[in-house]
Amino acid sequence: MTDGLIDIDGTKVYVLAPDGPKVSTEQDAVDIIGQLWGQSVTLVSIPVERFADGVFDLRTTLLGHFTQKFIGYGRTLAVVGDLGEHLAASEPLRAYVRESNRGRHIWFVDDMNQLAARLG
């Protein structure tokens, strides 16, 4: 599978493939957003597998800085996949996911079906 654009209920979604280069930094977020410049994409879907080790450990601040770039550039980010192991190990991450999912900019979903339901 390669990175690509799909339409979910009228929303243009840029989907990163699970097997691409790992992402973790603010620059990685800016690079992804830059690839979409001038396109009508409002949501980026990144599978859990694409995130580098340590991103879901909030003490590194990587996740916060990464997600903040999407908010700053007016893009919605969906982190797609099973975070069970990470959530079980971290109350702060559970709180971060819970609060993010209440908002409109950063979502954590189990799969693309859950993302489609959220968009629909």
Supply 64's token pair: 């916060």
Helix spans in the chain (H): 26-35, 62-72, 84-89, 91-102, 112-119
pLDDT at 22: 97
User: Taking the model in full, what pTM does it have?
Assistant: 0.95
Q: Give the per-residue pLDDT at 2.
A: 84
**Measured distance CA(53)–CA(57) in Å, rounded:** 9
Q: Domain residues of the chain, as ranges?
A: 20-119
Would you state the pLDDT for residue 1? 72
List of the chain residues with pLDDT < 70? none
CB 99 within 8 A of CB 93: no
pLDDT at site 93 = 98
